[in-house]
Chains A and B, each alone.
Chain A
Amino acid sequence: MLKENFRQLGENVLSVQASFGRAGLLLLQSIFTIPRPLKAARLLIDQIFQIGVLSLLIIGVAGMFIGMVLGLQGYTILVKFGADSALGPMIALSLLRELGPVVAALLFAGRAGSAITAEIGLMKATEQLSSMEMMAVNPVHRIVAPRFWAGVISMPLLAIIFNALGILGGYLVGVEWLGVDSGGFWSSMQANVDWYQDIFNGLIKSLIFGIVISWISVYKGYDSEPTSAGISLATTQTVVYSSLAVLGLDFILTALMFGDLH
């Protein structure tokens, strides 16, 4: 009985190790894929369209509303201290440093990551991947790499758009609706937001989130059990693991980037 438990434990540890190994190999293969340039660019652009452009609507609407909520909530607190001119930097810093990269990444994992996993998983279940191999087409080059790179490229772009629309939403609520002074709103934002420290670091964050989400998505699809239950499990795991990875990494990155700022 005890022996059986130990055997089971060992097997679980080894299978987790093996899946990390397979994930690492897939990442290396996707990164260092050297396809024919023109063909690859076309595949990549198609995938950026599927992954990035089609995610624009949800990212834009979410960004706008989050900015508006920040404006409304920030105003109700700040106006009590007569500090409503600090609304601009409050909105901009919360969006650029934290909310923009993180919320955009969570939405991206739900909108695009799950779709990548389901697509690759279904290709595997219907044996499209093995038939590609039989035609001497490498499925990692043809299917996995374009999706991975499209995710890595799209994520920071989506996060920038999220940030810009969020600040616009905060401006609409704070200045146009609640009557905060427009000049103070922008000038105190400019005085407190640093180009490198805030905007650039936020972009680095979203790039890292993009790499992690794309990696998990393609790996979960490529490694899924080729059954309908397997695909559904893989899709769920993509969203859960991506979200947890984003939230955990965000804390570490924030501690590294902004830990010594006040």
Chain B
Amino acid sequence: MESRKSQILVGLFVFSALLALIVLGLKASNLNQYAGKKTYKISASFNNIGGLKVHSAVKVGGVVVGRVEEIDLDKKSLTPKITMFINQKYDNFSSETSAAILTAGLLGEQYISLTPGGNDEILKSGDEIADTQSAIILEDLIGKFLFSKDSPPSM
């Protein structure tokens, strides 16, 4: 009798641990983004990707539609090349779509923002976005601002 009780409690223990793992996976991590969603890949070249990382978000008007999969340097042109996968649900981006690397907030994480274009030709898996805008580097901006003044501010 005692043994049966402990068996039930051990079963409950293992079960609750598995439940906790599932809750952690679905609620606290990115597991549900892996699960069985169909995606397709498109790529884009930028002059400067700033602080973009693998797994950074790809957004359209703030809605996350995909993630950055790979960051690489193009061997011929020596410019950064980014491969991203986009949810198959959104398979009707036109080939005029433009991509820009933006920052969430002033110092937040960087992400790729896609702006859909107007023509009828549609981006397919493996296509490259031609119209891109690089990340804004804060130091460059400050540098430009300082040197564009006619005379440096006198103390």
Q: Name the interface residues of A149-201: CB closer than 8 Å to any CB of B.
A: 156-158, 160-161, 163-165, 167, 186, 189-191, 193-195, 198-199
- Alpha-carbon distance A200/B55, docked complex (angstroms): 18
* B55 and A45 contacting across the interface, CB-CB below 8 Å: no
* Most chain A CB atoms below 10 A, which of B16, B23, B30: B30
- Alpha-carbon distance A158/B12, docked complex (angstroms): 13
A137 to chain B, nearest CB (A): 19
- Alpha-carbon distance A156/B10, docked complex (angstroms): 14
Contacts of A195 in B (CB 8 A): 25, 29-31, 34
- Alpha-carbon distance A167/B20, docked complex (angstroms): 11
> Which one of A30-38, A49-57, A121-129, A209-217 is at the interface?
A49-57
Question: Counting CB contacts under 8 A, is A105 at the interface?
Answer: no
Contacts of B33 in A (CB 8 A): 190
* A42 and B20 contacting across the interface, CB-CB below 8 Å: no
B11 to chain A, nearest CB (A): 9
A131 to chain B, nearest CB (A): 23
* B24 and A164 contacting across the interface, CB-CB below 8 Å: yes
- Alpha-carbon distance A177/B32, docked complex (angstroms): 28
Which residue of chain A is the closest to B5 with respect to CB atoms? A49
The total of Cβ contacts below 8 Å across the A-B interface reads 75
Given contacts A46-B3, A167-B24, contact A52 B13 (CB under 8 A): yes
* A157 and B13 contacting across the interface, CB-CB below 8 Å: yes
Question: Counting CB contacts under 8 A, is B57 at the interface?
Answer: yes
Contacts of B6 in A (CB 8 A): 45-46, 49, 53
State the main secondary structure of chain B at its contact with A: helix
* B7 and A45 contacting across the interface, CB-CB below 8 Å: yes
Question: Counting CB contacts under 8 A, is B130 at the interface?
Answer: no
Which residue of chain A is the closest to B12 with respect to CB atoms? A53
Show 30 A/B contacts (Cβ-Cβ < 8 Å), sorted by A.
A46-B3, A49-B6, A49-B7, A49-B10, A49-B13, A52-B10, A53-B9, A53-B12, A56-B13, A92-B29, A156-B17, A157-B17, A160-B20, A160-B21, A161-B17, A164-B23, A165-B20, A167-B24, A167-B28, A189-B29, A190-B28, A190-B29, A193-B29, A195-B29, A195-B30, A195-B31, A198-B29, A199-B24, A199-B25, A199-B29
Query: Given contacts A49-B13, A190-B33, A191-B30, could you give 8 more A-B pairs where the C-beta distance is less than 8 Å?
Result: A42-B3, A160-B20, A161-B17, A165-B20, A193-B28, A193-B29, A194-B55, A199-B29
- Which A residues have a C-beta under 8 Å from some C-beta of B? 42, 45-46, 48-49, 52-53, 56, 92, 96, 156-158, 160-161, 163-165, 167, 186, 189-191, 193-195, 198-199
